[in-house]
Amino acid sequence: MKNQTLQLAVNGEYFDAMKNGNKVEEYRLVNAYWSKRLIGRNYDRLIITRGYPRKDDASRRIDIPYNGFEIKTIIHKHFGNDAVNVFAIKIELVPHGQS
């Protein structure tokens, strides 16, 4: 079976927070688009990019094992002032040399 990778592009603020360990979840709105991409899918890897870097720009890429998601209800500036349901995709950085 082919390895499956989920790739997410995020803005610099969120990427930097993930890289330094302060952001441990990435949110995507629960809707038909993301449901199709997440529910019932078995990913091996999660690649998070700072924007849309060149393929050889490793400094703007986090490549980690995929550890699933939870559905949560949150209020977040990105989604407006009302509570929304989101897929909270787990960001679990592993120490260098492990994966």
> What is the residue extent of each domain of the chain?
5-90
Q: To the nearest whole number, what is the mean pLDDT of the chain?
A: 91
Residue of higher predicted confidence among 94 and 20: 20
What pLDDT does residue 1 have?
Answer: 58
pLDDT in tens, 24-51: 999 999 999 999 999 999 999 999 999 9
Cα 66 to Cα 21, 25, 52, distances in angstroms: 16, 12, 20
CATH number for region 5-90:
2.30.130
**pLDDT of 96 above 60:** no
Rounded CA separation 68/75 (Å): 21
Q: Which long-range contacts (CB under 8 A, 24 or more apart) does 22-26 make?
A: 23/91, 24/90, 24/91, 24/92, 25/88, 25/89, 25/90, 25/91, 26/88, 26/89, 26/91
Strand 61-65 vs strand 69-74: parallel, antiparallel, or unpaired?
unpaired
Are 94 and 64 a contacting pair, CB within 8 Å? yes
With bands split at pLDDT 50, 70 and 90, how would you rate the model's confidence at 93? confident
With bands split at pLDDT 50, 70 and 90, how would you rate the model's confidence at 8? very high
Per the structure block, which two tokens stand in for 56? 């050889």
